[in-house]
Structure 1
Amino acid sequence: MCPAPWRKPAPTLMSVFEAGIGISSPAAATSRSRSITNGIVKFKLRKTNKSDEKAEQERRRAEDKQRNRKETDERAEQERKHAEEADERAEQERRRAEDKQRNRQEAEPKTRPTTFEKYIHTCYTLPSKPYRIQTDKSLSTQGSITSPKNKPCPTLSKASNGLFINPSKCFD
């Protein structure tokens, strides 16, 4: 079929493209296609940059995860050390309390109140040798005693006749 003279020929794909982007001459078409090509390259570069950015983000995330894992491990190690130190302190405190209790139990009989009768009996039976007055001056302390002022002081000691033989008669 022959196109009718009143009709324009059917536009080609290139002419439609050129008309759509507003190209009026072949030189303009060339510069326009160059800018389009540059835009595609820029788009590809942007796309590559985006993929690089994604890779960089992934790398940062991996580093963050590794750092977080390391910090968590360090915190766990510190907590373990603190727990061990607390256990040691508790053990020392327990030992100290046991020692204190043992000392208190050992000292209790020594500090318990006693009766006068028991006191006299202990004083009488405690010495391993009986009391006696030393008359031999070579076996006694040499020199005179110091002069105490305003204090009672025995100046003469005589042997008793039976105080240490039967003390119950004296204190009954």
Structure 2
Amino acid sequence: MFPTRISTQGFALTDVASISPRQMAFRRFVSHKAAVVCTAILFILVMFVIFSPLTARYGVNESVRKPPNSFLPPQSLAWLGTDDIGRDLYSRLIYGIRVSLIIGFFSAIISVALGCVIGAVAGFRGGRFDDVVMRVTDLFLAFPFLVALLVVRNTHPPEECEEEDDEAD
């Protein structure tokens, strides 16, 4: 295979081939501080979701205190307090994180699967289909998503508001 020692002008360079690609990738990842912090935060959120049945004392819609005066400050019954209907905010937060992580996970899986299929078909067929797929991809990359949402929102007003205005008259 390749020598592990390469000598140039009297200097020996050792361990050139002894670092595996995984070790190199791990070192690059660890040197990127933002990636490490984000991974730690994601790990903490996943642990909250896994252990939520143990830490959340109440269900999502279960009331800690009955209205009126249902707002409670943080205390031993409700770690983050309660909302206006008397529901535990900590339990609602934990179960909300669970739903958000599940949606994000499946969205990522679906996007990767669709991207692989469309990319494989575009690469296999080539020609005009590949050109169209690439132009659509360029359009998505060049046109910011939030600007597109604002344009769609402003050009198509919601019909619900118009119906409510008619009923009020």
Fold match (TM-score > 0.5): no
TM-score, normalised by the number of residues in structure 2: 0.25
TM-score, normalised by the number of residues in structure 1: 0.25
